[in-house]
Amino acid sequence: MPSNLTPAPAPRRLLLVSLDNLGDLVFASALTPPLHRHFPGVAITLWCKQYTRDIAALVPGVQEVIASDPYWDRAPGHGRGGRVAFALAQWRVRRGRFDTAVLAAAPWRTARAVAHCGIPARIGLERRKNARWLTHCLAPEDVRRPVLSEEARLLGALGIADPGPLQYRLDASRLPARPDLDRALGGRIVALHPFASKRSRCVPVPIWLDVARELQRHGLVPLWLGSTPELNEVRAASPGAAWIYVDQFGTRLVDSAAAIARASLFIGHDSGPLHVAGGFGVPVLGIFAPGEPDRTFPQGVGPSRMIARPSPDGITAEQIVAEALAVG
């Protein structure tokens, strides 16, 4: 923390703000265990996007979730949030009478929205135009360093000088009971997520099909993850294959999370589902082609390995299978 900043008072009611996408929310989950260790009586509420609320409810130590889509941003598969709905969320925050807000990411609009809720202590890393809305504005994020190393500095503003190595984590015991998944996913399941927001950094689907076939020979049952249009691409390329597709069990994010939690191994591109798996402790193989492997590599509680390349070109099914078997 900069030397001219006095640590914020010990919080009693703390708002953790992650109005970002799924992977960012999972990273923010690493902050709650040290907060509870250092402030055993603290009550933590998590403010997140609407589509991530079911995952936010799995963050250990979070007692309440407030969900709303910012009117200045889009959630994946959705439009911009509405101003009225966002104002209602701000009203709920004001009613919570929080004494401290920790902003996992603090773009100026997010920082302004939190400041307008009247929270006395507001902690975040410096970004363009956000300093006026923060009471504890820390040095900007170093994008060459791991995400959690940088987020640990937020805890320093509360006097937690050495929180220890941070790991993100999710509590699978908070998931609703799913007997249908228990029946369908009773064997050794490998969850495969061959998609990402930019197809240019994805290994081609035919290579993923070869990965699935080879892992079947090692006794693993493929479970394909993705949106229904993405999964239809896999279905069309593999007619008759005895594989499982996550949209058989529902199309909500919580359905995918419940399926991932039952997997023995996860393989996927750098995206939210990869970090969800790592948060559950599932062994993960992350494919970064290129992504940001030095910054957003798997930092969860489970074992992990990576394949990091400048592009998907040249990544083979044999390489993926070898790394997957090494981690799983």
Query: What does the pLDDT read at residue 119?
Result: 98
**Quick one: 65 exposed, middle or buried, by C-beta within 10 A (0-12, 13-18, 19+)?**
middle
Q: Give per-residue burial for 246-270: e unless 16+ CB within 10 Å, then b.
A: bbebeeebbbbbbbbbbbbbbbbbb
Query: What does the pLDDT read at residue 1?
Result: 55
Backbone angles phi, psi at 265, to 5 degrees: -160, 145
307 Cβ contact partners less than 8 Å away, ≥ 6 residues apart: 285, 286, 287, 288, 289, 315, 319, 320, 323
Backbone angles phi, psi at 92, to 5 degrees: -65, -40
CATH topology of domain 173-327: Rossmann fold (3.40.50)
Beta bridge partner(s), residue 222:
190
CB atoms within 10 A of CB 19: 29
Query: What does the pLDDT read at residue 328?
Result: 76
Query: What does the pLDDT read at residue 79?
Result: 84
* Predicted TM-score (pTM) of this structure: 0.96
- Cα distances from 38 to residues 1, 41, 137, 259, 308, in angstroms, run 17, 9, 21, 33, 36
Kindly report the CATH class assigned to 13-169. alpha beta
Q: How far apart are CA 278 and CA 131, in angstroms?
A: 33
Query: What does the pLDDT read at residue 117?
Result: 98
Indicate the residue type of 67: A
**Quick one: 70 exposed, middle or buried, by C-beta within 10 A (0-12, 13-18, 19+)?**
buried
Beta bridge partner(s), residue 62:
44
User: What residue ranges of the chain have pLDDT lower than 50?
Assistant: 3
Query: What does the pLDDT read at residue 198?
Result: 87
Query: What does the pLDDT read at residue 4?
Result: 58
94 Cβ contact partners less than 8 Å away, ≥ 6 residues apart: 117, 118
Query: What does the pLDDT read at residue 78?
Result: 82
Q: Where are the domains of the chain?
A: 13-169, 173-327
13-169 against 173-327: fold identical? yes
What are the structure tokens assigned to 327, written together?
């981690």
195 Cβ contact partners less than 8 Å away, ≥ 6 residues apart: 202, 226, 227, 230, 269, 271
